[in-house]
Amino acid sequence: MTTNETEAGEKMERLNANLAKVEALSLKLADVMSRHKPLRNELNSPEPEVFLNAASAYWQGMLDNPGKVLENQLDLWSKSVKGFVDAQNMMLKGQFAAPQDDTPTDRRFSHPLWKSHPYFNLLKQQYMRNAQAIQTAVSELEGLAPKDKQRIDYFSQQIIDMMSPTNFLGTNPEALERAVETEGQSLVDGLENLISDLDANNGELLVKLADESAFEIGGNIATAPGKVVYRCRMYELLQFSPSTETVYETPLVIFPPWINKYYILDLKEQNSLIRWAVAQGYTVFVVSWVNPDRSLADVGLDDYIEEGFLDAIAQVKEITAQPQVNVVGYCIAGTTMHLTLSLMKQRGDESVKSATFFTTLTDFGDQGEFTPFLQDDFIDGIDEEIEEEGVLRSFIMQRTFSFLRSNDLIYTPAIKSYMMGEAPPAFDLLFWNGDGSGLPGKMAHQYLRDLCQSNKFVGEGLELCGETLKISDVDIPTCSVTCETDHIARWKDCYHGYQQTKSRSKTFIVSQSGHIAGIVNPPSKKKYGHYTNSKLSLSADEWMEEATFHEGSWWPRWDTWLSKKSGKQVEARVPGTVTHPAICDAPGEYVRKKALK
């Protein structure tokens, strides 16, 4: 027996051994799945009537204009048959090559075999033809309500994305090559990754996006030095240690969103907005929200306002002996900060000198990409979920956000982890993204029904804390920072809401990039620029047409704006006082608590 034959035999033995491991792991996978408690149907798909209406519209279109429908079908058939014939002709000519390929560039099909191998190329071209046929059929549907049309478009695209040949081992050349190269070890590793993810989420499939073992909260992320100086059932108040000899007299209080943890603003030293603000001479306080369990099921927006925002502002005023503070609200905390400012206006409370909003929606008239999830059937399902669980569990929201970018946040990571057997990357942003928080049941219901669906804050007003809150009550100096490619809080929608405040001093900024990268954009990176325009009476499109583009981060521009509202310089403040002694080091305890599964 030759050396090559011996090596080939050993490789086959290793391959067979790994395939046997795959069979054993399959039994373990079945055991994990047997413990899976499926989500209620309302959270997985729209009510059947949506699809029935779409089917009725399609058939009505066929009756009204059968020629057009048949033309589309014949075009698909023709291209399909032609693609098959072209591939056959190449084989008959003795050429093991793909025929001409005019399909558009798609990074899912970047592996060379998708272009050169006749089998894989035929699969790719046929998939793209089918996808185009579905998209055309949906785009030509008539007689549907706009929201139903948008939902059909969304769910049809989900089917298209799911059925990509890249998502299946037998039709993914890169995964098959890896299996052969590793003698099946990649399949073993991939199946172990799949079982681990399912086991960690009670049988629910959430692809782990980051290597969790690479990060430690308070160790190599969330490391800005400071102290917890106050704690209540709603939040811990962090006061960060100064890095300058003097500071502005007016303190800065940052309210992060409670859907995720505050340390998105303190991932590492190089991109920490908290550290940067401290270095500019601000006394920085940050609210670290509690990760709610079922005992907080009855906590509503009014509790977040009274026990969260107003209480934190009062504590900071007492700690610093200052009559006013400057505040920042990020995403949902920015929305709630608007509600708080409306309430403070009606109560005659002037504790806030200025407010800055990061990616903040207040006008929900256009629900954008969230339209499919903000209709009654889905919200009814969420109401049932929170009635049973007491909270809106984090993984439900994480799954929803992921499906808005399913190829990037679901299928591509799943392919790498489960089919290629790769470990998730050590990426701090993705680690933070997976470290979510649930929402108290009452608060989630109010936010979805009263704000997102009914849009009461910019309409007749929202009844909270014994008052009717309206955006027109907000009249203090404000700055709104939005992000150009943000798909969660689209900048144009943020702009429409911001226009409806009555502040006489308003600054509006559009940063390049998205919901996170556009905000966490330190000047040292010199990466993303930003747009400004003082004419806030223009439409959003007109505003952008006339806007001035500036290279680099918006942080220094904000510093110039904020410093003018922060008073004189005083001696730097050490965290804590006699009345508010330090409880523990930052980042505190609440930030370490994991969300309910």
pLDDT tens digit string along 246-285? 999 999 999 999 999 999 999 999 999 999 999 999 999 9
The 10s digit of each residue's pLDDT in 291-344 is 999 999 999 999 999 999 999 999 999 999 999 999 999 999 999 999 999 999
Q: Which two tokens stand for residue 277?
A: 């603000």
Give the confidence band of 8 by pLDDT, cuts at 50, 70, 90.
low
Q: What is the pLDDT of residues 497-544, one digit of tens each?
A: 999 999 999 999 999 999 999 999 999 988 999 999 999 999 999 999
| Superfamily (CATH H level) for 226-373+438-592 | Alpha/Beta hydrolase fold, catalytic domain (3.40.50.1820)
pLDDT at 207 (0 to 100): 87
- Collapsing DSSP states into helix, strand and coil, what is residue 254? strand
Reported confidence tier of residue 87, pLDDT bands at 50, 70, 90: low
Residue bearing the bigger pLDDT, 286 or 42: 286
State the Cα–Cα distance between residues 514 and 520, nearest whole angstrom: 10
Measured at the CA of 59, the angle between CA 55 and CA 65, to 5 degrees, comes to 140
Token code pair at residue 6: 């011996």
Least confident among 39-43, 56-60, 391-395, 426-430: 56-60
Q: Which two tokens stand for residue 327?
A: 């505040």
| 82 pLDDT above the threshold of 60 | no
Segment 573-585 shows an average pLDDT of: 96
pLDDT average, residue stretch 96-100 = 68
What confidence score (pLDDT) does residue 372 get? 82
Cβ neighbours of 142 (radius 10 Å): 11
Distance CA 273, CA 560 (A): 15
The pLDDT assigned to 569 comes to 97
* Residue 369 confidence (pLDDT): 82
Looking at the DSSP bridge assignments, the partners of residue 549 are 531
The confidence score (pLDDT) of residue 37 equals 72
Cα(205)–Cα(196) distance, integer angstroms: 10
Query: According to the 3-state scheme, what is the secondary structure of 460-511?
Result: CCEEECCEEECHHHCCCCEEEEEECCCCCCCHHHHHHHHHCCCCCCEEEEEE
> What pLDDT is recorded for position 86?
59
**Cα 281 from Cα 245, distance rounded (Å):** 8
Phi, psi of 330 (to 5 degrees): -110, 125
What share of the chain in percent tops pLDDT 70?
88
Q: Which two tokens stand for residue 558?
A: 């904000």
Q: Bigger pLDDT: 71 or 352? A: 352
Tokens, residue 296: 């907080």
- Amino acid, single-letter form, for residue 344: M
CA distance 573 to 316: 12
How many Cβ atoms from other residues are within 10 Å of residue 449's Cβ?
16
Q: Annotated active-site positions, please?
A: 331
486 within 8 A of 521, measured Cβ to Cβ: no
Per-residue pLDDT tens for 388-398? Answer: 999 999 888 88
Burial class from Cβ neighbours inside 10 Å (0-12, 13-18, 19+) for residue 2 reads: exposed
Of the candidates 503, 442, 423, the residue with the CA atom closest to the CA atom of residue 302: 442
The pTM of this model reads: 0.88
Q: Is the dihedral of CA 366, 372, 375, 379 positive or negative?
A: negative
Mean pLDDT of the chain: 87
Q: Determine contact, residues 263/215, Cβ cutoff 8 Å.
A: no
Burial status of residue 447 (CB atoms within 10 A of its CB: 0-12, 13-18, 19 or more): buried
Backbone angles phi, psi at 560, to 5 degrees: -60, -40
Residue 325, beta-bridge partner list = 352
Q: What is the pLDDT of residue 597?
A: 65
Q: Give residue 235's pLDDT.
A: 98
By the 10 Å C-beta count (0-12 exposed, 13-18 middle, 19+ buried), 432 is classed as buried
pLDDT more than 90, % of the chain: 58
pLDDT for the residue numbered 337:
98
Q: Determine the Cα–Cα distance for residues 264 and 284; give it in Å rounded to an integer.
A: 15
CA distances from 410 to 33, 127, 136, 168, 396 (A): 19, 19, 25, 14, 14
Q: Is the pLDDT of residue 67 over 50?
A: no
Q: Once rounded to an integer, what is the mean pLDDT over residues 346-374?
A: 93
Helix runs in 348-456, H state only: 376-389, 394-403, 406, 412-414, 428-434, 441-446
Express each pLDDT in 432-480 by its tens digit. 988 989 999 999 999 999 999 999 999 999 999 999 999 999 999 999 9
- Report the DSSP beta bridge partners of residue 482: 510
What does 514-549 look like in DSSP terms, one character per residue? -TTTTTS--GGG----EEE-S-TTS-HHHHHHHPEE
What does the domain layout of the chain look like in residue ranges?
35-181, 226-373+438-592
- Rounded to the nearest 10 degrees, how much is the dihedral formed by the CA atoms of 405, 408, 411, 417? -140
The packing angle between helices 118-139 and 146-162, to 10°, is 170
